Amino acid sequence: MMRLPHFTYRAPKSVAEAASMLASGPGEAMLIAGGTDVLPNMKRRQQTPKTLIGLRNISELQTLTNGDGLCIGAGVTLTALVRDARVRIHYPGLWQAVAQIATPHLRNMGTLGGNICLDTRCNYYDQNYEWRKAIDFCMKKDGQTCWVATSSPKCLAVSSTDSAPALLALDARVRLVSAGGAREVAIADLYQNDGINYLTRRPDEILTTVVLPDPKGRKSCYWKLRRRGSFDFPVLGVAASARFEGDTVVNINIVLGAVASRPLLASKAAAALLGHRLTDENIATAAGIASDAAKPMDNTDFTLGWRKRVVREFVTLALRDLRGDDVRAERYRYALQSLEAVG
């Protein structure tokens, strides 16, 4: 197997202690929670921090409390989230997203904060050191060129988090804490469409909490497309949430995952539905608009033409799901398991 490089491991007991450690060694330390993303990256030498600051001993990051809606500590494991009845009942979109992340084993270790901050992915980047050396490296690490599109001035690595689109659709906010203070931002503002600088989190900040507003009857869902029913990162994620008055949509979010370097808000598609009923025609129109916005690149599993084409089908499924159609057969077809059995 590949070996980890040498590093120093530090285990603070509080967020304040972690923040001061992070502030003291700028650029040399990285945070580690479950380690399911950062450790493989370190083995491949994509990241070689001198120090890892472990967040596992910080109890305040492990809490799941009722706030206005729900406050989820960034260190809560994905398995704990899947098993939480409040998440399952009130935020089904988040629950469906988290239940389909990676594998049961990885969900046991991986945390919500880790999945939100998940490094962007690319077939030219998620390779070991020798492989990357054979292509003379790429823009994201040690090289100059973006091999996905050689004329691209920016890195095109793909946002591959499942939880983030679902959280965007639910209007979640995240709390960031540094030695200098704390701030809270809409999760949509945590991301930017750049494969290298995909987070607006400053290097000295720790993502501590995810704040979900009271759903107030808002429906939500998440549809994940991947080759296999387990392990795989999404090649497409569609998160949607809506509030209805009667049959009329009064509030709606549609978010696409894995088609850009950030979770992509399909605002125009959503706007087209606002104040309307989710008729087949309206759904088809919105799905068409959403698929126009998706710009998948040739750096994940499957071909980009097909990935773009299925955006329309998946947005349609998500909107039909919100409308209350029986989509269990379609859910099983793509999830390859009954999500109800996950947990």
Q: Which residues bind other proteins (CB under 8 A)?
A: 1-3, 5-6, 123, 126-128, 130-131, 133-136, 145, 147, 150, 227-232, 301-303, 305-306, 309-310, 313, 330, 333-334, 336-337
CB-wise, 76 or 157, nearer to other proteins? 157
CB of 134 to other proteins, least distance (A): 4
CB-wise, 305 or 324, nearer to other proteins? 305
Inter-helix orientation angle 304-323/280-293, to 10°: 140
Show the tokens assigned to 153. 């001035």
Q: Exposed, middle or buried, 146 (CB in 10 Å: 0-12/13-18/19+)?
A: buried
CB of 313 to other proteins, least distance (A): 5
CB of 180 to other proteins, least distance (A): 37
Residue spans of beta strands (DSSP E) within 114-246 = 173-178, 181-186, 206-212, 219-225, 236-245
CB of 109 to other proteins, least distance (A): 16
CB of 19 to other proteins, least distance (A): 31
Q: CA angle, 226 as apex, 48 and 136 as ends, to 5°?
A: 35
CB-wise, 292 or 313, nearer to other proteins? 313
Amino acid at 84: D
CB-wise, 231 or 275, nearer to other proteins? 231
Amino acid at 165: P
Q: 258 to each of 27, 49, 135, 164, 304, how far by Cα in Å?
A: 27, 26, 24, 10, 11
CB of 231 to other proteins, least distance (A): 7
CB-wise, 108 or 251, nearer to other proteins? 108
CB-wise, 131 or 250, nearer to other proteins? 131
Q: Exposed, middle or buried, 294 (CB in 10 Å: 0-12/13-18/19+)?
A: buried
